[in-house]
Structure 1
Amino acid sequence: MKKKNIIIVMGVILVFSMGVYMEKHFSFSRGLVEGTQDVLRKTHILSERLVKEIKQAISTVKITSAIILGILAKGNIKNRLVKIKK
């Protein structure tokens, strides 16, 4: 009878320790998933900011290019008019 009780107690201890191990493992996994979600959320926010800044830079380049082309075209037209008048 004592041998049977010892086996039952060992089984209970084994099941309990497995439960504790699984709970710790589950908590670690849950923390890992939550951490990954947080990183993805921050990455998404940073990528949105980067896209916004790139769009602003492209707009600035377009405006600057238009101004430079306008200045060059204006000078070119003046040179042509001077040549025609001569």
Structure 2
Amino acid sequence: MTVPLPEAVTLLLERSEEEIDKLTKTSPVAGVRAARRLEVIAERVGYWAARDSPTDLDAAQTAAHLSLNEDVARKPLARYGPLEPLPLT
């Protein structure tokens, strides 16, 4: 039931992590800057993704699609978008 990521996205994320790890070994401050840039990107893109997420899914279904448990799934959806946290069941 997990929503798979396209291979290109998976490879891009893996490569980003590898490159930031290498950068951090030579310049920890640059590593922090790169990590912060990823956070900004995640917040911007995550906002629209959370906003456009199907509203017909219940908390358990949403969590399953994200490969998270319900408690953990509430946080990113609430953080990224104007959505209310998933209701407790």
TM-score (normalised: structure 1) = 0.32
TM-score (normalised: structure 2) = 0.31
